[in-house]
A and B are shown apart, each in its own frame.
Chain A
Amino acid sequence: MSVNKDKFVLVQNKFEDVDKIETQSLTFWQDAWRRLRKNKGAMFGLAMIFVLIIFAIAAPMEPFVPNNADGTPFSYKKAPVLFDEEGNEIAKEDISFVPPRIPGIEKLGIFDGFTVIERGSWDILIGNLPKTTEWDALKSPLKRKDLIAALGIPYHPFEINFIDMFKKDGVNFAKVKVLATGEIVELPYADLISEFTRFQDGTFEYVSSEVDDKGVEMIKINADYYEIQNIKNLYFWFGTDKLALDVWTRLWTGVRVSLLIALASMVLDFSMGIVYGTVAGFYAGTIIDTIMMRFTEIIGSIPMLVFMIIMISLIDPIETFISGIFPNITYTTVRLLIIIVAMSLTGWIGVSRVVRAQILKLRDQEFILASRTLGASKIRLMQKHLFPNIIGQLVVMMTFTIPGAIYYEAFLTFIGMGLPIPMASLGVLLRDGYNSIQTIPAMLLIPSFIMSLLMLSINLLANGLRDALDPRMR
């Protein structure tokens, strides 16, 4: 094969080009950003953080949040006031504790106001009888006949077992087995139930039925809570809690509060840790350093709970003190501040250790020595040489602190030392959700998911930052 000679051009040797840098000169941060951008995980994390922050800021505000009847947006601490079609206020009971329901998405079979629950057959067929002595007497096992007569139903729930439910000619039929005779009967569901049950015809889909070890039939149904509570015209996007507070509003307010607490305690940790660590690092090897380091061990041994209890007991003087500086401080804010301070009580120690170790390492390096020989002051040394060299690692540490702080707040809430009432945070929502796991698992799953997502995103970003800023760790 032949090659055309014209395609080759002789490149001249240009001596003056040897020292020329072809690529653009990059600062430390530009370089880090370039590397970070390549990290898909970190970019995903960063994007998610932005999305969550935007939600946290915007979602509890108009126009992104549903409105009360008077036009004001739902609040995280007050039950919504809503009117039915006749213009009467809907009772708080009716809008309390309903599952998530989002318009549009509900057609996909999620967030549709349904939740799978397990209930005894009595609950499904008879429900809660009025609290009168006559009805109480009828609950006795010996009066089964009288009870079904009084309710006008064909069978006592403990005398039949469900086999299946199906629709025939638009009517819901139940297929049940009569225990006494063993025969299998099909009859319209509506005939089977008392007027007192919440689970009227058409309010649920039958899932399965099981007789447990104790001989009690538990029926699993997919219940339409909005139909049961008769509020089919309403949408609570993430449901409501037992106090009828809107979870959507509470969740995003909670994310906001959790993030705020985490950021505040991070700032506290790092401002204290950096100063302390720098001083200790500078005096390393001397008695000052030893005392300072022992001091951190002692602070580290203070039990955080004890500290919090003491702070809460001193809340009045603290409030008076702070209101001297910032008037109009509220009790809630002071309680919040106490939590933040308690969280930072030991948090800064780790930071100061790292800073100290880094300074120790850098102190003996040649460029510091050179600068010092040239007469640089201590301040200049710190500003120009030490600090820029540890900033990368600090940024990484800071990022890793945030998920820790978010978790810590949730932990405090779980042991009953959490936020002032009625504030919402991820921890508060998790705890409430944990209590509702039997009926509406979404109450736990949604905040869990958001919290995990938030922590995951920040961790991913932190990982990426570490790789970008601290190349040795790659």
Chain B
Amino acid sequence: MLRYVVERLFLIFLTLFVVLTINFFLLRLMPGTPFDNPKITPAQKELMVRKYGLDDPVGVQYLRYLNDVLHGDFGVSFRLQDQPVTKLIAMRLPHTVQIGSMALVFGVVVGILLGALAAIYRGSFWDGFVTILAVIGVSIPSMVLAALLQHYVVAEWGMFTYLYNPIDATRGISVWDSLYSSILPAFSLSLYVISATMRYMRSELVEVLNSDYILLARAKGLNKTQVIMRHALRNALIPVITIVGPMTIGLLTGSLVIEMFYGVPGLSRLLLNATSQNDYFLILGVNVFYSFLFVTVILIIDLLYGVIDPRIRLRGGKS
């Protein structure tokens, strides 16, 4: 087990290294410099490029950057007052996490409940209803949903808020205000989570309910509620956990539209701005961070799954 983890950690390290390298060189293929501004003359731009050492051969710059990274320095943003990239990411992350985690919790809970409902009453009206709901949930594009929610729910009905409000004591925005303002963005994000969880939960629970041990439990005289509560739900939930990981990554990295509509100062927005301004180190930083999230979450799931399901652990140990 330990060896497996060490091996995986090594692979993670290797992957991140390669991601960093590829992205570093790829970004230099982008046209222009971080200092493009129609007002300034080419000579001034050239001076700026020299100041940040961007005129050195790319290989030299790469080694320099790599050296910095090994010392924990991911460079500075050229377009935001030379602020360290790590600081900028650290400032943005909490907002993305706040919205994302709300969406995840809400989505998974509702998804599991609806999925269970559909499985228990399989073939009934409720089953069909929930299935249709799930399909509709994934069929409404998020920008349409966000636009309609803002126009009708907020503007016409006066419920919830237009914008996400970060917690700010001096402005009088408490944790609760902030959470309240996160409801619409989180809801918009959670539709996909609900649909996916629900579908998964339903099929898992159906399979469990058809299994022999449930039959046995029923035969032993337990009533249906007890069987579902004690045996079936718990067993059906295990596989559902596996899709939570990828969904978490999706929520943390794929919320750009929602961030744009609700004014969330999140990571995706930062990446978009950095990309349009050729802010190399910032793009690189956010990207490597995304890759880091991706590989670690996958690792955690694999480990967790091993803990939950002994069969997997055995297989993992072998490889």
What per-residue 1/0 map shows which CB atoms of B5-20 lie under 8 Å from chain A? 0000001001100110
Once the chains bind, are B291 and A303 in contact (CB under 8 Å)?
no
Q: A303-B287, A309-B30, A455-B139 are in contact. Are A294 and B18 (CB under 8 A)?
A: yes
Q: Which residues of A contact B141 (CB under 8 A)?
A: 407, 410-411, 430, 448, 451-452, 455
Residues 1-49 of B at the A interface (beta carbon under 8 Å): 11, 14-15, 18-19, 22-23, 26-27, 29-31
Which residue of the partner chain, among A306, A410, A441, A473, contacts B27 with CB atoms under 8 Å? A306
Contact yes or no, B143 A298, CB < 8 A: no
Q: Quick check: B132 and A41 within 8 Å, CB to CB? A: yes
A303 CA to B20 CA in the complex, in Å? 12
Q: Which of A298, A306, A410, A451 contacts B18 (CB 8 A)?
A: A298
* Bound: A253/B23 CA distance, A: 37
Residues 403-440 of A at the B interface (beta carbon under 8 Å)? 403, 407, 410-411, 414-415, 430, 434, 437
Q: Is B290 an interface residue (CB 8 A)?
A: yes
What does the 1/0 interface line of A138-161 toward B look like (CB < 8 Å)? 000000000000000000000000
Q: Is B272 an interface residue (CB 8 A)?
A: yes
Residues of B within 8 A of A448 (CB): 141, 144, 147-148
* Contact between chains at A452 and B139 (CB < 8 Å): yes
* Cβ of B136 under 8 Å from chain A: yes
Minimal Cβ-Cβ distance residue in B for A462:
B135
* 10 cross-chain CB contacts under 8 A: A301-B23, A301-B287, A303-B275, A403-B139, A407-B142, A414-B257, A448-B141, A448-B148, A455-B140, A456-B135
Which range holds the interface residue count of chain A?
35 or more
Residues of A within 8 A of B131 (CB): 41, 463
Q: Which residue of chain B lies nearest to A295 when distances are taken between CB atoms in the complex?
A: B18
B275 closest partner in A (C-beta): A305
Q: CA separation between A297 and B299, bound complex, in Å?
A: 14
> Which chain B residue shows the least CB distance to A456?
B139
B145 to chain A, nearest CB (A): 9
Contact B30 A297 (CB under 8 A): no
Give the distance in Å from the alpha carbon of A414 to the alpha carbon of B206 in the complex: 40
Complex contacts, B101 vs chain A, CB 8 Å: none
What 9 pairs across the A-B complex have the smallest Cβ distances? A456-B139, A313-B31, A455-B139, A301-B19, A448-B144, A301-B291, A305-B275, A310-B29, A459-B135
Contacts of A313 in B (CB 8 A): 29-31
Interface on B for A, CB 8 Å cutoff?
Answer: 11, 14-15, 18-19, 22-23, 26-27, 29-31, 131-132, 135-136, 138-144, 147-148, 151, 203, 206, 256-257, 260, 271-272, 275, 283, 287-288, 290-291, 294-295
- Bound state CA distance, A377 and B63, in angstroms? 48
**CB <8 Å contact, A294 and B11:** yes
Complex formed: what's the CA distance from A473 to B119 in Å? 12
A294→B144 contact, CB < 8 A: no
| A411–B203 CB distance below 8 A | no
Q: Select from chain A the residue with minimum beta-carbon distance to B207.
A: A472
- Once the chains are docked, how many angstroms separate the CA of A126 from the CA of B23? 59
Q: Are A306 and B19 in contact (CB under 8 A)?
A: no
Measured between beta carbons, the chain A residues less than 8 angstroms from B30 are: 306, 309-310, 313
A309–B31 touching, CB < 8 Å: yes
Nearest CB in chain B: distance from A460 CB, A: 6
A472 to B278, CA, bound (A): 49
18 additional contacts (CB under 8 A) given A298-B15, A430-B143, A441-B151: A298-B18, A301-B288, A301-B291, A302-B23, A306-B23, A306-B26, A307-B26, A310-B30, A407-B141, A430-B141, A444-B144, A448-B147, A451-B144, A452-B141, A455-B141, A459-B135, A459-B138, A460-B135
Tell me, in angstroms, the Cα distance from A456 to B132 when the chains sit together. 9
Complex CA–CA separation, A303 to B290 (angstroms)? 10
Chain A contacts of B260 at CB under 8 A? 414-415
Given contacts A444-B147, A455-B141, contact A302 B26 (CB under 8 A): yes
| Shortest distance between the CB of A252 and any CB in chain B (Å) | 18
Q: Which residues of B contact A414 (CB under 8 A)?
A: 143, 257, 260
Q: For residue A303, which residues in chain B have a CB less than 8 angstroms away from its CB?
A: 23, 271, 275, 283, 287
Name the CB-closest residue of B to A444: B147
Across the interface, which residues of B come within 8 angstroms of A310, CB to CB? 26, 29-31
Alpha-carbon gap, A473 to B200, bound state (A): 9
- With CB as the reference atom, state the residue of chain A lying closest to B287: A303
Nearest-Cβ distance from residue A41 to partner chain B, whole angstroms? 7
**Closest CB in chain A relative to B274 CB, distance in Å:** 10
Q: Give Cα A352 to B214, complex, Å.
A: 37
Rounded to whole angstroms, the CA-CA distance of A149 and B257 in the bound complex is 51
Q: Decide yes or no: A305 and B144 within 8 Å by CB, A41-B132, A414-B257, A414-B260 being known contacts.
A: no
Within residues 32 to 56 of chain A, which ones have a CB less than 8 A from any CB in chain B? 41
- Kindly state the separation between the CA atoms of A302 and B29 in the bound complex, as whole angstroms: 13
| B12 CB → nearest A CB, Å | 10
Q: How far is the CA of A411 from the CA of B255 in the complex (A)?
A: 11
Give the residue name and chain of the A residue nearest to B292 (CB): A301
Q: Looking at the complex, which one of B23, B136, B275, B294 makes contact with A309 (CB distance below 8 Å)?
A: B275
User: Which residues of chain A are within 8 angstroms of B132 by Cβ–Cβ distance?
Assistant: 41
Cα of A403 to Cα of B203 in the assembled complex, Å:
22
Give B273 Cβ to nearest chain A Cβ, in Å: 11
Question: In the complex, what's the smallest C-beta–C-beta distance from A61 to chain B, in angstroms?
Answer: 27
Q: Which A residues are in CB contact (< 8 Å) with B26? A: 302, 306-307, 310
Q: How far is the CA of A448 from the CA of B15 in the complex (A)?
A: 40
Restricting to A251-310, which residues have a CB under 8 Å from any CB of B? Answer: 294, 297-298, 300-303, 305-307, 309-310
Contact of A297 with B23 in the complex, beta carbons under 8 Å: no
- Measured CB to CB, the closest approach of chain B to A120, in angstroms, equals 17
Give A313 to B278 CA distance when docked, in angstroms.
13
Q: How far is the CA of A310 from the CA of B28 in the complex (A)?
A: 9
* Residues on B with beta carbons closer than 8 Å to the beta carbon of A407: 141-142
Q: Is there an interface contact between A301 and B275, defined as CB atoms closer than 8 Å?
A: no
Cα A407 to Cα B256 with chains together (Å): 13
Which A residue's beta carbon lies closest to that of B254? A411
- Closest residue of chain B to A304 (Cβ to Cβ) is B275
Q: A414-B143, A430-B141, A430-B144 are in contact. Are A298 and B203 (CB under 8 A)?
A: no
Taking the closest CB of chain A, its distance from the CB of B206, in whole angstroms, is 8
Within 8 A of B (CB), among A446-462: 448, 451-452, 455-456, 459-460
In the complex the two chains form, is A306's CB within 8 Å of B275's CB?
Answer: yes
Minimum C-beta distance from A451 to chain B (A):
6
A473, closest chain B residue (CB): B203
Contact call B272/A415, Cβ cutoff below 8 A: yes
C-alpha gap A257/B147 in the complex (Å): 23
Q: How far, in Å, is B124 (CB) from chain A's closest CB? A: 15
| Known pairs A294-B11, A301-B19, A301-B287; A452 contacts B140 (CB<8 A) | yes
- Known: A437-B147, A448-B144. Contact between A415 and B256, CB under 8 A? yes
Q: Which residue of B lies closest to A453 (CB)?
A: B139
Please give me the residue from chain A that is nearest to B206 by CB atom.
A474
Please give the distance in Å from A262's CB to the nearest CB on chain B.
13
Q: Per a CB cutoff under 8 Å, which of B22, B31, B140, B272 touches A301?
A: B22
Of chain A, the residue at the smallest CB distance from B20 is: A301
A308 to chain B, nearest CB (A): 9
Contact A302 B22 (CB under 8 A): yes
Query: Residues of B contacting A459 with CB < 8 Å?
Result: 135, 138-139
